[in-house]
Amino acid sequence: MRRIFKYIALIFFLVSGVLLPEYAVSQFLGYKLMYNRKKAHIPFELYNNLVVIPLKLNGVVPLNFVVDTGVRSSIITEKLIIDILKLPYSRKITVNGPGDNIILEAYVVNSVDIVLEGAIGSEQSILVLEEDYLQLRNYLGTEVHGLIGFDIFNRFIVGFDYSKRVMTLHEPKNFKPPRKYAEVPMAVEDTKPYIFAKIQMNDTTMLYAKLMVDSGASHAIMLNADSHESISVPPAHIKTQIGRGLGGPILGKISIIKSLEFDKFEFSNVVVSFPEPEFYPDSIGLVYRNGTIGGELLSRFKVIFDYFNKKIYFKKTSDYRKGFGYNMSGITVVAEGEELTNFKITDIRKGSPAEKADIRVDDFITNLNGVDIDKVTLSDMYKLFNYKHNKKIRLTIERDGKLIQKVFRLEDHLVSY
């Protein structure tokens, strides 16, 4: 289910906002471009609107990291990687949840070299999770081992060409603002970028919202209904699991707002996620905001983040006018197994087409619209579930060792303006 990724960003925020307030001292100046270059081009893959780049730890261990403007320090999700390298831990971190229950344990490792294509970060500090709390590989359907964020944005001017799948690191002293890009003012607060956008909730309600620009979020827009009196969940909405946090599923609602506008860019009928208040612990944040802009919107542009001059540059791509979708099937799926080829259903939305078709939690999908599952990616599945109202979906599922055929049609329950 695509919506499961919409709150990976919230997980990232929890990690970055809670864990590292006193040792956000990674040696940011340790990054440099190799061979006296003025810029470095790094190819990336895009999974559910998240940018995933290859890198190496200490020049020898190849890994894949999500590039996330929402995290303060680099994070490794699999402790085994550091154990294999036999790197020493400098300290242990414990984060308590409600009732003083421990919800996260992690370690800090110092003096690690992070090698990118054409750049290197020497003597870096990395946070290592005790357990794979984020389960990125399962929810993205590919091998992902961690996150990288402010360390590179604080050292380089960073551009994303979502169409060509290339990230570019610019040496700031050599950077010239590109022509034909819109220049949008940006604030950097608590290491994260923010812009203001005009949000038309409906025909009569409008506000100017402060939004974090989060490349580590898959959704288009998230809004916190408790942050402003003009933000409320529209009457036509769907209650659903919109993500997974450190403590388990994150519940909320999805709906449509009339429009979102910043600079000369305007989007109509935008699908928005609204987390339930108990799943959006804004009190732990250091910066007031009304919500976030995520990868589903960013991927419609070429984007350049300039933290030095407090600007973001945007240029439209051919995806600019594409519609905003959501998972109309009601199915949440994760990839399991060594090769991530076992697609297990972990949640069924109440009242959804999938529930009506008697598809159940713990079913395994083995065939999708006539295509065997080993030829389908998780992203392919989400695109189909987001496709359009009344689209026929044919599944073969495995339940208790038996193969069962299921057929249903996607249903759009949201109201456009």
Give the domains, in start order, of the chain with CATH numbers: 2-174 (2.40.70.10), 182-316 (2.40.70.10), 331-409 (2.30.42.10)
Please give the backbone phi and psi of residue 79, each rounded to the nearest 5 degrees, phi first: -60, -30
Q: What is the mean pLDDT of residues 24-52?
A: 83
CA distance 187 to 51: 22
pLDDT in tens, 242-269: 766 655 677 899 999 999 999 999 999 9
> Pairing between strand 119-129 and 75-76?
parallel
Residue 404 confidence (pLDDT) above 60: yes
Beta-carbon contacts of residue 337 (< 8 Å; ≥ 6 apart): none
* Residue of 242 and 232 predicted with greater confidence: 232
Q: Are 323 and 389 in contact (CB under 8 A)?
A: no
Q: Which residues pair with 335 in a beta bridge?
A: 343
Q: 0.75 cut: is pTM over it? A: yes
The pLDDT score that the predictor gives to residue 104 is 79
- Whether the CA torsion 27, 31, 32, 38 is positive or negative: it is negative
Beta-carbon contacts of residue 204 (< 8 Å; ≥ 6 apart): none
pLDDT band, very low/low/confident/very high, at 68 (cuts 50, 70, 90): very high
The pLDDT score that the predictor gives to residue 417 is 84
The pLDDT score that the predictor gives to residue 28 is 40
Residue 287 confidence (pLDDT) above 80: no
As given in the structure block, the two tokens for residue 212 are 């974090």
